[in-house]
C-alpha cells in the first residue's frame, strides 16, 4: 500500500491505495476528483437521493460525497475482500464510519432482491471492453423502474450518471454506448464528458 493525500473541492482526503491490484481497483484516478467537482456543481442530482457508486475502487469519491454533501451512499466493487477492507480503512482514515458496501462482479446476480437506489454513479470504469456486456447487464437490474418494489416517487426515474476521463480508443468507447442502445437505454451527453443513462 501507499498512502497519499488527494485534493477534492474544498477538502483534502487521505487515501490508501494498493501498489497493485489484479482488477485495477488500486489507484484513485484523476477523473474522480473532476467528477466530484461536477457533482458539487450539480448537487441537485445527489442531494436527497440514495446513491450507489459502481467501481468504487478506493472509496474516495463516496467518502467525499458523504463528508461534503451528507449523501446517502453505498459503495460497490468487484467481489473481493481486499477492496472492501480498503474502502473501510479509507473511511476510518478520514474520520468517518465505513459506508455500506456491496461486493458485486458485473454480469453476475446482484446481491439484492430489488435495487434500492435512485442514482447510480461511476467514474472511469470503461477500461475493459470485454466487460461492457456485463456492465450493461448489471445496469439493467439497477435501472429497473418498478416503483412499487422500489418505493420511488414518480418524479425520480432511476438513472446512471457516469464520468469518463481516461482515454481509450473512440471505437471502444462507442461500443459501450452501442451496447446501452441495444439494451434499450437512453444516453444523454451532459457535457464535460459526463453521461446520463436511463432505462
pLDDT tens figures, 27-56: 888 899 999 999 999 999 999 999 999 999
Which pLDDT belongs to residue 116? 85
Rounded to whole angstroms, how far apart are CA atoms 54 and 102? 9
- Who has greater pLDDT, 34 or 127? 34
User: In terms of pLDDT, which residue wins out, 23 or 163?
Assistant: 163
Where residue 127 falls among pLDDT bands split at 50, 70, 90? confident
Of 127 and 26, which is predicted with more confidence? 127
Task: Give me the phi and psi of 155, to 5 degrees please.
Answer: -80, -10
Q: Report the run of H or E that residue 154 belongs to, with start and end.
A: none
Distance CA 131, CA 133 (A): 6
Q: Name the percent of the chain lying above pLDDT 90.
A: 77
**Cα–Cα distance, 168 to 111 (Å, whole number):** 30
What's the confidence (pLDDT) of residue 85? Answer: 96
Per-residue model confidence as pLDDT tens digits over 73-124: 999 999 999 999 999 999 999 999 999 999 999 999 999 888 889 999 999 9
pTM (2 d.p.): 0.94
Average pLDDT value over all residues in the chain: 91
Which structural domains are found in the chain, ordered by start? 2-198 (3.40.50.150)
Closest CA to 91 of 99, 83, 103, 81: 99
Residue with cell 461492457: 132
Amino acid at each position: 500500500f501507499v498512502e497519499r493525500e488527494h485534493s477534492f473541492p474544498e477538502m483534502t482526503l487521505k487515501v490508501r491505495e494498493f501498489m497493485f491490484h489484479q482488477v485495477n481497483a488500486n489507484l484513485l484516478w484523476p477523473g474522480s476528483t473532476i467528477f466530484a467537482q461536477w457533482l458539487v456543481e450539480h448537487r441537485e442530482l445527489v442531494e436527497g437521493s440514495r446513491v450507489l457508486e459502481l467501481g468504487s475502487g478506493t472509496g474516495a469519491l463516496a467518502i467525499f460525497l458523504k463528508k461534503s454533501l451528507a449523501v446517502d451512499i453505498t459503495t460497490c466493487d468487484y467481489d473481493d475482500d481486499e477492496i472492501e477492507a480498503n474502502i473501510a480503512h479509507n473511511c476510518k482514515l478520514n474520520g468517518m464510519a465505513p459506508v455500506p458496501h456491496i461486493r458485486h462482479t458485473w454480469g453476475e446476480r446482484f446481491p439484492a432482491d430489488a435495487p434500492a437506489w435512485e442514482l447510480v454513479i461511476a467514474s472511469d470504469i470503461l477500461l475493459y471492453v470485454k466487460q461492457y456486456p456485463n456492465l450493461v447487464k448489471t445496469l439493467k437490474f439497477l435501472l429497473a423502474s418498478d416503483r412499487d418494489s422500489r418505493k420511488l416517487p414518480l418524479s425520480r426515474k432511476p438513472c446512471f450518471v457516469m464520468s469518463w476521463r481516461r482515454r481509450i480508443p473512440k471505437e471502444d468507447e462507442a461500443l459501450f454506448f452501442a451496447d446501452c442502445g441495444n439494451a434499450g437505454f437512453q444516453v444523454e451527453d451532459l457535457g464535460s464528458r459526463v453521461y446520463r443513462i436511463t432505462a
